[in-house]
Structure 1
Amino acid sequence: MFLHVVMMQFNRDADAQFHQRVQHYCARIKSECDGVAGYDFQPNLASRSDGLDHAVIGAFADSAAHDRYQVSSAHQEMKAYMASFIERLVVCDSEIQTFS
């Protein structure tokens, strides 16, 4: 499985409407992108978040599914919409072992 984590710090313009629209993009990604095992936008609950207060967390069948997601229209539209609200962003992409 391939894990994609994007941790973000937003500016003050990221209001409730912003969060609702991002959730809409997440739903589109889950329904439109092949190989998405899970995809969510959530607050970062870590006490050591260093201001990175939200994250997009995606799990993909493999790195090829992640690559397809990266160029999908839903993801490209989401990135374009979110760009002006993001002050700081950190990405982690990694293969992870799954347990049965």
Structure 2
Amino acid sequence: MHIVMMEFVPGTDAAFFQKVEDYAERIRKECQGVRLYHFGANEAARSQGYTHAVVSAFDDAPTHDAYQVSKAHVEMKTYMGPSIQRLVVYDGAAPLL
């Protein structure tokens, strides 16, 4: 599992989030071994300002490692970086149902 929760700078608009979703779609298509890859708004009342998250699951650790350096993911991080105010990451094993 790989989960990234993000808070964005004020003024981040819908066009930005649509482009991020376009990157997420590329990752789902281009990265082998990705079982789940979702970018979406955080609807939790206790979000502490983390308004969006990437929730993803991979076949195994080597698949996750390959994703980290994939062209689509590197481009996505480069695009999003200037707009991210804060983020927190969880990487760990979890059983898939």
**Percent identity between the two aligned chains:** 51
Q: Which residue of 1 aligns with 2:42?
A: 44
The number of equivalent residue pairs is 97
- Which of the numbers 23, 31, 34 marks the counterpart of 2:21? 23
Task: State yes or no: 1:88 paired with 2:86.
Answer: yes
TM-score (norm 1): 0.93
Which deviations, in whole Å up to 9, do the C-alpha atoms of 1:22-61 show, x marking residues without a partner?
Answer: 0000000000001000101111121111000100111111
Aligned mates of 1:13, 1:73 — CA distance in 2: 27
TM-score (norm 2): 0.96
Task: State yes or no: 1:62 paired with 2:60.
Answer: yes
User: Which structure 1 residue ranges, 5 or more long, are not aligned?
Assistant: none
Q: Displacement of 1:63 after TM fit?
A: 1.0
Q: Displacement of 1:98 after TM fit?
A: 2.5
Aligned mates of 1:13, 1:62 — CA distance in 2: 37
SS in 2 for 1:52: coil
Moved >3 Å (runs of 4+): none
SS in 2 for 1:95: coil
